[in-house]
Amino acid sequence: MVLLAERMEHVRSAAINFLVPAGAAFDPPGKLGVATVLADLITRGAGDRDSRQLSLALDNLGVDRDESVGAVNMRFWGSTLSRNAPAALDIFADVIRRPHLPEDELEPVQALALQDIQSLEDAPQQKVMVELRRRYYPSPLSKDRRGRAEDIEGLSADDVRRQYRRLFRPNGAILSVAGNIDWDRLKAQVERLFGDWPTGEAVEVVPAPHTPASAHVHKDTEQTQVSLAFPSAPIGHPDYYAARAGVGVLSGGMSSRLFTEVREKRGLCYSVYAFHETFKDRGTLIAYAGTRAKRAQETLDVTVGELRRLKDGVTDDEIDRVKAGLKSSLIMQEESTSARAGAIATDWYYLGRVRSFDEIQAAIDALTPAGILGYLDRYPVRDLTLVTLGPEPLTMPE
């Protein structure tokens, strides 16, 4: 297991962040959603504490905490006063290594997971994004953490325990801590808690051959949800920050191009934005617009037009605005123990090292209009995957 820590002397708190390669991509066929069920069930009793005792112990330490499931990793996070961090880490070690996974808690966990799936029908923006990723990414990266209702209903406690035994191991896991901590004491504690954790068989995400496919999901509504995806530069690539800057020009606030051209000038939609998404081996630019069905085709046309218009040039003012936004995010991250614990773990997962503040700031300072145009030459806006949700399908503009 990799241990990372960053001392932040100016704070009185500490954040603990675990990444375990046990995300939705590892859900077996016929058991889609088991990662989400495991992430909930794993906190319902561990070590010598039952579910209630575990919650009380963390609450008594003032731990703000969360568990989440991503495509590849399951994340466990907790933040508390630095003096309480060692006791909190002891409890997290029980959760990670000695969970009860009680059978009598499985049914309520399944019920919550099913409610999460059903809630998608009332959240069309989320639903269209699920459908976009399912058609754009190769398996198993295309799996949604929610899984399928019929699979979750059929899960047994043994299925969940089997998934835990298969995936929870030190090799591939990352523990990051940020805050007012002492490195030597932390390292000694982690050695005591995890030093005898047996390694397991390494598992890797191996994307299958895949060709993205556009699609329309029929839903009899007055609104249409429009989502688009196309290749971009992944983290670690020389063009990564140029890609982030391009997205910032498109969707970096109320002065951005998509907001100005699609919403403000034409009044075509109630929501429009773009963002950058990355895996280790691929990056993606994703755009979304929600609009009235009658104006959906026009919304799509104008949105795609703005994506393609980036290659015609970016102004110095737009670059300055993007730089200011990226630097603000960087500075705020430096002031948050939770953000720093997450950032150093993410860096290690993607890059095998932790980037310094100065390195990231230098990459931001180096952004220029010419750099973005160079990125667009290498990653042009083409081969777009379009997924829509609404009463009628749309046609991709030429």
pLDDT digits 0-9 by tens, 118-175? 999 999 999 999 999 999 999 999 999 999 999 999 999 999 999 999 999 999 999 9
Q: Structure tokens of 47?
A: 């070590």
**From CA 70, how far away is CA 79, in angstroms rounded?**
20
The answer to whether 248 and 232 are in contact (CB under 8 A) is: no
CB 69 within 8 A of CB 36: yes
Select from 3.40.605.10, 3.40.50.880, 3.40.190.10, 3.30.830.10 the CATH code of 2-194: 3.30.830.10
**Burial of 197 from C-beta contacts in 10 A (0-12 / 13-18 / 19+):** middle
363, 241 Cβ separation under 8 angstroms? yes
Asked if 183 and 7 count as a contact pair (C-beta separation under 8 A), the reply is yes
Residue 250 and residue 276: Cα distance in Å, rounded? Answer: 11
Percent of the chain with pLDDT over 90: 95
Domains 2-194 and 215-390 share a fold: yes
Q: Return phi, psi of residue 245, to 5°.
A: -70, -40
Closest to 345 in 3D by CA, of 44, 11, 68: 68
Homologous superfamily in CATH for domain 215-390: Metalloenzyme, LuxS/M16 peptidase-like (3.30.830.10)
- d(C-alpha 284, C-alpha 230), whole Å: 6
Q: How far apart are CA 88 and CA 82, in angstroms?
A: 10
| pLDDT score for 333 | 82
- Torsions phi, psi for 241 (to 5 deg): -75, -25
AA letter at 204: E
User: Using one digit for the tens of pLDDT, what is the confidence trace for 1-23?
Assistant: 999 999 999 999 999 999 999 99
Q: Can you list the alpha helix ranges (DSSP code H) found in the chain?
A: 34-41, 51-60, 85-97, 106-119, 124-136, 149-153, 157-167, 183-194, 240-251, 257, 296-309, 316-334, 337-351, 357-365, 369-378
Domain ranges of the chain: 2-194, 215-390
- pLDDT tens-digit series, residues 60-95: 999 999 999 999 999 999 999 999 999 999 999 999
| pTM for the whole structure | 0.94
pLDDT tops 90 at residue 331: no
Q: In angstroms, how far is CA 292 from the centroid of its own chain?
A: 29
